[in-house]
Amino acid sequence: MNDNFSAFSKRINNRFFFTQFLLAKLPAAYFAGLKIEAFDEGKAVVSVKQKWFNKNPFRSIYFAVLTMAAEMSTGVLCMGNIYKRNPSVSLLVTEQRGIFHKKALGKILFTCADGNKIAEAVETAVTTTNPVTVICYSKGFNSSNEMVAEFWVSWSFKARNSKTSPLTV
């Protein structure tokens, strides 16, 4: 496990710092209205509310916004596990797959509970110096607890040769 995960968690759970991060690194996520509802070493919950900016012509949340929220629920766990690692670790989405079950209306919560699997993959990448891929699962539910969509996001981790991490939050 990354010794700096708690420092990352404090920053990412702070609304001010999270907003700054979105504006600097992921402005589309900021304008779409993504928010972190819960975050710890084991799981992340990201929400998105239907609004004028993120809707499609069918009066539901645009599929790309749902994909973005699902990816963020997996990606924030990945970022927490590589934050200030020595050696630093690069991460990259290598594949993404999604299934849409219902029309996305109102507030949708995407949950990824793959924190331990991600931590193990990062440790393997650091100790073996070989790239490691992990498939993370995120599921999105509406306010009636009906599954709206589910996603599988493949992340690749690779230890770098340098001593410092370029990731700043």
Looking at residue 135, which CATH number applies to its domain? 3.10.129.10
Question: How many residues appear in the chain?
Answer: 169
Tally of helices (H runs) and strands (E runs) in the chain? 5, 6
Residue 35 lies in a domain: yes
Contact 109, 141 (CB under 8 A): yes
Residue 93 lies in a domain: yes
Count of domains forming the chain: 1
pLDDT at 168: 53
Unique residue bearing structure tokens 């996603």? 151
Unique residue bearing structure tokens 């490691």? 132
The radius of gyration of the chain's CA atoms, rounded to the nearest angstrom, is 16
Residue 68 lies in a domain: yes
CA distance 168 to 4: 12
Minimal CA–CA distance to 122: which of 89, 154, 95? 89
Residue 167 lies in a domain: no
Domain extent for 72 = 5-159
Q: What tens-digit pLDDT sequence spans the chain (169 residues)?
A: 678 899 999 999 999 999 999 999 999 999 999 999 999 999 999 999 999 999 999 999 999 999 999 999 999 999 999 999 989 999 999 999 999 999 999 999 999 999 999 999 999 999 998 999 999 999 999 999 999 999 999 999 999 985 545 555 5
Residue 168 lies in a domain: no
Residues contacting 126, CB < 8 A, separation 6+: 85, 87, 89, 159
Strand arrangement of the beta sheet that strand 132-141 belongs to: 35-39, 44-49, 107-112, 132-141, 147-159, 89-100
Unique residue bearing structure tokens 């766990």? 77
Residue 39 lies in a domain: yes
CA distance 96 to 73: 13
State pTM to two decimals: 0.91
The pair of three-digit structure tokens given for residue 34, joined into one six-digit string: 């993504």
Residue 164 lies in a domain: no
Residue 165 lies in a domain: no
pLDDT at 123: 94
